Amino acid sequence: MSGPGIVVVGGGIAGQGVVEALRDRDREVPITLICGEPRLPYDRVRLSELLASDEGPDALTLRPEEWFADRDVRVLTDRRVARISLEGRAVELEDGETLAYAQLVLATGSRPLLPPIPGIDLAGVYAFRGPEDCDAIRLAAASPEVCSAAVIGGGLLGLEAARGIVAQGCPVTVVHLMGRVMERQLDAGAAELLLPRLRELGVEVLLERETVAIVGDERVQRVRFRGGKELDADLVVVSIGIRPEASLARETGLRCERGIVVDDEMRTSAPEVIAVGECAEHRGVVYGLVAPILEQAKVAAATLLGRPGGPYRGSVPSARLKVAGIDLVAIGAAEGEGEAISVDAGAGIYRKLVVRDGVAAGAVLLGDVRGSEALLAEIAAAEPVPDPLARLAAAAALGPEDLPDTAQICNCNTVAKGELIAAVTEGGCATPREVMARTRAGTGCGSCRASVIAIVAAATGGLNDEPAYLCACERQTREELAAEIREGGWRSVGEVAQACRTGRECGACKPALAYLVSEVNDNLHREERHARFINDRVHANIQRDGTFSVVPRIHGGVVTPDQLRRIADAADKYKVPMVKVTGGQRIDLLGVRKQDLPAIWRDLGMTSGFAYSKAVRTVKTCVGTDFCRYGLGDSIGLGIEMERAWEGLHTPHKVKSGVSGCPRNCAEATVKDIGVIALEDAWQVRVGGAAGGSVREGDVLCTVQTRAEALRVTTAFLQYYRENAEYKERTYDFVPRVGLDQVREAVLGERSSAALLERLRIAKAATRDPWLERDAPYHPRQFGDLDEALEDEPSLVGPPADGGL
Amino acid sequence: MIRVCGVEDVPLGEGRAVLVGGTRVAVFRAEDGWFALDAACPHRGGPLADGIVARRTVICPLHERRFDLATGQERSSGSYCAAVHRVEVRGQDVYLEAPPDRLDDLTLAASTERSA
């Protein structure tokens, strides 16, 4: 590359959009992309998803490093422009470097608006704009010191932030100035319908409240409203809107109003400078949605390359969103003179078509967004609508397969149905993932993915399921690898890595592979600890400060005074900072140093509770027949039996069980992975229940007559799950995925269940209490760091001959 | 350089931490060789020595950030960077270049500022 080319300032969706549109049309022109944040361009729209998950910001990266390298795009990250010299045609970076340009693109985006109220600078008050905010909010919401949160602003972003905070287990209240939430996208009817749904999720909403102060000493404690009322909150997220980031343009002397003023070719008042995205103002409008911004990016690229592409005449604002788990499409005007509305309040469905001057002008679809693609096409074309209600009903009947090839499926990246089909028929793509990588459909806000998958499935003749890869780097599924392991007779992770390259590149799948190798070999595998997560190397649960928690096995929650005494003594001796009774009827010693683990286990003299592992955890029991005056069955007896039969077994994900002695169900067996409830002369067995991040009532697998049968059926199910679930797939995802009928066939069928029980017996026989490694460590430095080695002579002790790589 | 341990003190494919010159350093024995980074993850201070090590990367056990062992750079996002330390194996012994004393650094910076 030579000569000054195009310099793009801003690594957001707009800047990346311009780069992509330029490279689609011209492979040669030198391009430099300057990103102010310390990372490659990422999909900011999906930031709220990050908040509700455990993923890192990498998950949102739009294109990997190689993409830029392959296309000769120079990317500077963590660099900011200090000033622009229009005469010199150069930008000066904050670190002093100067870059010459022939043409300049400003895609500086926006910044969050912060109200100038007292207390806005207190610790615990966050804006919600970048991954750093996201990290900080997530951490705060999950921290035990934070009891309740407030989100100021009931717009889309505010509601999404609230949902993310609730997902971290922190109660939250949204405080909104206006009389309805999301007033820009929703009319009163739809906004009204959203409220009960938000409350169901645990998000409280206060309307018509003006926040006048944030109160606290160093950290935020409360927010105060006009009128003096206050709300307790030790975490506050401010999301009241955004302001175009036009300061650089203003200092340079470019014409600005709210944003940088651009013409229909996206040129600013200096013709060689282009502005795109949330920083730009076109015909008095600043667009904040992905689809119009990418439309602008295409026009900008055409202008930059001197080719016909424009003019840009503005966009029909159209947003397809997922708010609080509900699908929402808002197109064009939310209100107008003619409106057709269909509501099913019970189901949370609201559909409205807005008509102005006899033509389609807008739509709001909440809870049921069928036909949105067709309606968008009609609204963009301003088609006449003689009977709006009939039109609305007809649109609902349209699936993605009924749409014309010209219908736009992905709004964010403006991909039409025909392009998706061409990717299959001409591009040779076989899976939705490949089609998405090629067309970029579904990679913006992600809300069209279901449609993309349906269309690709139809085009490929029904191939619907995307394989879940165990090793994403090598694109190997669990089934493929299990077959390889059986065929090759591999006994260790190292052997599989050698033969199939699995897990070698990034290592993320090594624990999954370690489980698979152990499961296929009925636990007669060769253990390699480097493949295990730290918890399974030291048999304790790592905490945020690098210390560990210790939970001894207490079968069925029944404990002896002697055990309690030993636990108390150990807690004293090792100065355990917190002793906590867990939800699984056990006792957790938190904050133990790694090097103290072997000694504390020795003092406890109890076996490992596996609270740190994907393994059989607890069997929670109620008091049952021994003491309870209602008990119908011996729940404690069965619970202890189950726990003894299963302890020490690893599983694809943790398995929490419960046994209740009567239908009052005090052990909450209906929401356990495996639950048993005593009835009059019978035992009901349930599987696939959950009461954590998601709540699901377990499916009734069967009702059996005897306690022995209950033990047999639950044990067979456990083994079926161990053999067939994907790694990290809980039973509550596994059971619905394979279907209850198939589970029943395998677990209740005489021959298949006998085989399951036999394989479990072999696997169980090969387990041993990992806490015995206190006396026979896997490696001399299993629990230690190197500080002692500093003093020592070079060690003569090697790893166990059979155990190393 | 300082001898920190013998080759066999770190299991293949794992890491271990050591305090050297006031800095806690994680020493890794990876498939591609020996590496050393600051022991505290630059994200939230997680113990990198307890991470999962692959050919040339380590994944922090707390929040699964993945770092390049040779450059310390967080992979793909590049949001964070862990300080890299020079490590050398001579025979059966592992040596680490003593990291500059952080306190001295500050004093030096302060005195340079004053003289400037």
Q: Are residues A693 and A558 in the same domain?
A: yes
Of the candidates A77, A534, A781, which has its C-beta nearest B9's C-beta? A781
Of A483, A506, A532, the position where a domain reaches its end is A532
The DSSP call for residue A514 is: H
Q: Which residues contact A377 (CB under 8 A, 6 or more apart)?
A: A404, A406, A407, A408
Contact B52 A787 (CB under 8 A): no
Location of structure tokens 């356990």: A672
Answer whether residue A782 shows pLDDT above 90: yes
Share of chain A above pLDDT 70, in %: 94
Start-to-end CA distance of chain A, whole Å, equals: 47
Confidence of residue A599 (pLDDT cuts 50, 70, 90): very high
Per the omega criterion (within 30 degrees of 0), is the bond before A292 cis? no
Which of A21, A185, A22, A217 is closest to A102 using CA atoms?
A22
- B47 DSSP β-pair partners: B40
Answer whether residue A804 shows pLDDT above 60: no
Q: Which residues contact A453 (CB under 8 A, 6 or more apart)?
A: A432, A464, A466
Q: Are residues A707 and A596 in the same domain?
A: yes
Structure tokens at A413: 């990246």
Q: What DSSP string runs through A422-440?
A: HHHHTT---SHHHHHHHH-
CA dihedral A630, A632, A637, A640 (to 10 degrees): -80
Instruction: Quote the mean pLDDT of chain A.
Output: 88
CATH number at residue A230: 3.50.50.60
Q: Are residues A713 and A586 in the same domain?
A: yes
Distance between B102 CA and the closest CA of chain A, angstroms: 19
Structure tokens at A189: 């009817």
Taking residue A75's Cβ as centre, other Cβ atoms within 10 Å add up to 22
The string over A651-662, giving b where at least 16 C-beta atoms fall within 10 Å of a residue's C-beta and e elsewhere, is bbbbbbbbbbbb
Q: Are residues A568 and A528 in the same domain?
A: no
Q: Is B19 on the interface with A (CB under 8 A)?
A: yes
Q: Is B98 on the interface with A (CB under 8 A)?
A: no
A253: exposed, middle or buried (Cβ count in 10 Å: 0-12, 13-18, 19+): exposed
Which of A388, A392, A391, A410 is closest to A400 using CA atoms?
A410
Q: Are residues A691 and A612 in the same domain?
A: yes
Contact indicator for A336, A362 with CB cutoff of 8 Å: yes
Q: Which residues contact B81 (CB under 8 A, 6 or more apart)?
A: B42, B71, B72, B73, B74
Q: Are residues A590 and A691 in the same domain?
A: yes
- Does some domain include residue A59? yes
- Does some domain include residue A791? no
- A223 DSSP β-pair partners: A214, A231
> Rounded to whole angstroms, how far apart are CA atoms A458 and A585?
50
Confidence of residue A271 (pLDDT cuts 50, 70, 90): very high
- Does some domain include residue A231? yes
Answer whether residue A468 shows pLDDT above 70: yes
- Does some domain include residue A456? no
Q: Is A483 on the interface with B (CB under 8 A)?
A: no
By CA distance, what is B68's nearest residue in A? A506
Q: Could you give the ipTM of this predicted complex?
A: 0.88
Lowest mean pLDDT across A83-97, A415-429, A557-571, A686-700:
A415-429
Answer whether residue A800 shows pLDDT above 50: no
> Rounded to whole angstroms, how far apart are CA atoms A80 and A251?
15
Q: Are residues A248 and A235 in the same domain?
A: no
Structure tokens at A665: 């169900």
Q: Is B17 on the interface with A (CB under 8 A)?
A: yes
Lowest mean pLDDT across A326-335, A550-559, A714-723, B91-100:
A326-335
Q: What is the pLDDT of residue A726?
A: 92
By CA distance, what is A65's nearest residue in B? B76
Q: How far is CA A779 from CA A88, A102, A773, A795, B12, in A?
A: 65, 62, 9, 12, 11
Contact A39 B78 (CB under 8 A): yes
Lowest mean pLDDT across A273-277, A307-311, A457-461, B72-76:
A307-311
Helix (H) or strand (E) holding A171: none
Mutate to test the interface with A, among B3, B8, B41 (most CBs of A within 10 A): B8
Q: What DSSP string runs through A35-57?
A: -SSSSS-B-GGGHHHHHHSS--G
Q: Is B93 on the interface with A (CB under 8 A)?
A: yes
- Does some domain include residue A399? no
Q: Is B37 on the interface with A (CB under 8 A)?
A: no
The DSSP call for residue B7 is: G
Taking residue A525's Cβ as centre, other Cβ atoms within 10 Å add up to 21
Q: pLDDT per residue over A721-747, tens digit each?
A: 999 999 989 999 999 989 999 999 999
User: Which residue type sits at A58?
Assistant: D
Confidence of residue A57 (pLDDT cuts 50, 70, 90): confident
Mutate to test the interface with A, among B77, B85, B92 (most CBs of A within 10 A): B77
> Rounded to whole angstroms, how far apart are CA atoms A545 and A168?
19
Q: Are residues A525 and A654 in the same domain?
A: no
- Does some domain include residue A785? no
Q: Are residues A524 and A581 in the same domain?
A: no
Mutate to test the interface with A, among B79, B90, B95 (most CBs of A within 10 A): B79
Q: Which residues of A touch B6 (CB under 8 A)?
A: 789, 792, 794-795
Contact A504 B54 (CB under 8 A): yes
Of the candidates B18, B53, B55, which has its C-beta nearest A787's C-beta? B18
Distance between B105 CA and the closest CA of chain A, angstroms: 22
- Does some domain include residue A272? yes
Q: Which residues of A touch B42 (CB under 8 A)?
A: none
**Chain A residues 53-72 with CB within 8 Å of chain B:** 54, 56-58, 61, 64-65
CA dihedral A125, A126, A127, A130 (to 10 degrees): 170
Q: What is the pLDDT of residue B103?
A: 44
Contact A40 B77 (CB under 8 A): yes
Q: pLDDT per residue over A516-546, tens digit each?
A: 999 999 999 999 999 999 999 999 999 989 9
Structure tokens at A248: 């650089």
Q: What is the pLDDT of residue A799?
A: 34
Lowest mean pLDDT across A238-247, A358-367, A764-773:
A358-367
Q: Are residues A485 and A614 in the same domain?
A: no
Contact indicator for A704, A744 with CB cutoff of 8 Å: no
- A83 DSSP β-pair partners: A92
Contact A507 B18 (CB under 8 A): no
**Chain A residues 696-755 with CB within 8 Å of chain B:** none
Q: Is A639 on the interface with B (CB under 8 A)?
A: no
Structure tokens at A63: 């294109």
Q: Is B23 on the interface with A (CB under 8 A)?
A: no
Confidence of residue B80 (pLDDT cuts 50, 70, 90): confident
Which of A776, A786, A778, A771 is closest to A597 using CA atoms?
A771
Which of A640, A657, A629 is closest to A560 using CA atoms?
A640
CATH number at residue A688: 3.30.413.10
Q: Average of pLDDT values for A18-25?
A: 92
Helix (H) or strand (E) holding B105: helix B102-115
> Rounded to whole angstroms, how far apart are CA atoms A621 and A657?
9
The string over A484-516, giving b where at least 16 C-beta atoms fall within 10 Å of a residue's C-beta and e elsewhere, is bbeeeebbbbbbbbeebebbbbbbbbbbbbbbb
Confidence of residue A445 (pLDDT cuts 50, 70, 90): low
Q: Which residues of A touch B93 (CB under 8 A)?
A: 794
Distance between B95 CA and the closest CA of chain A, angstroms: 11
> Rounded to whole angstroms, how far apart are CA atoms A272 and A358?
42
Q: Are residues A137 and A66 in the same domain?
A: no
Based on the structure, what is the number of domains in chain A?
4
Q: Average of pLDDT values for B66-72?
A: 92
Q: Which residues contact A635 (CB under 8 A, 6 or more apart)?
A: A621, A622, A623, A624, A625, A659, A660, A661, A667, A676, A678
Answer whether residue A464 shows pLDDT above 70: no
> Rounded to whole angstroms, how far apart are CA atoms A624 and A644?
18
Of A264, A282, A304, the position where a domain reaches its end is A304
Of A214, A240, A266, the position where a domain reaches its end is A240
Q: Which residues of B touch A783 (CB under 8 A)?
A: none
Domains, chain B, in order of start with CATH, read 2-115 (2.102.10.10)
Distance between A534 CA and the closest CA of chain B, angstroms: 6
> Rounded to whole angstroms, how far apart are CA atoms A104 and A4?
10
Structure tokens at A316: 């029909």
Location of structure tokens 């645990």: A202
Taking residue A635's Cβ as centre, other Cβ atoms within 10 Å add up to 32
Report the SS3 class of residue A380: helix
A776: exposed, middle or buried (Cβ count in 10 Å: 0-12, 13-18, 19+): exposed
Q: Which residues of B touch A797 (CB under 8 A)?
A: 8
- Rounded (10°) angle between helices A561-573 and A597-604: 150
Q: pLDDT per residue over A372-399, tens digit each?
A: 878 887 888 888 888 888 888 887 777 7
Query: Strands A476-477 and A541-542, how do they pair?
Result: unpaired
Q: Are residues A552 and A657 in the same domain?
A: yes
Per the omega criterion (within 30 degrees of 0), is the bond before A311 cis? yes
> Rounded to whole angstroms, how far apart are CA atoms A355 and A375?
12
Q: pLDDT per residue over A111-123, tens digit each?
A: 988 889 999 999 9
Distance between A604 CA and the closest CA of chain B, angstroms: 25
Query: Strands A616-621 and A655-660, how do they pair?
Result: parallel
Domain region containing A510: 470-532
User: Which residue type sits at A53?
Assistant: S
Q: What DSSP string runs through A63-95?
A: S-HHHHHHTTEEEE-S--EEEEETTTTEEEETT
> Rounded to whole angstroms, how far apart are CA atoms A296 and A14?
8
Contact indicator for A407, A378 with CB cutoff of 8 Å: no
- Does some domain include residue A288? yes
> Rounded to whole angstroms, how far apart are CA atoms A210 and A206?
10
Q: Average of pLDDT values for B39-61?
A: 93
**Chain A residues 133-152 with CB within 8 Å of chain B:** 135, 139
Which of A258, A273, A276, A278 is closest to A84 using CA atoms?
A273
CATH number at residue A526: 1.10.10
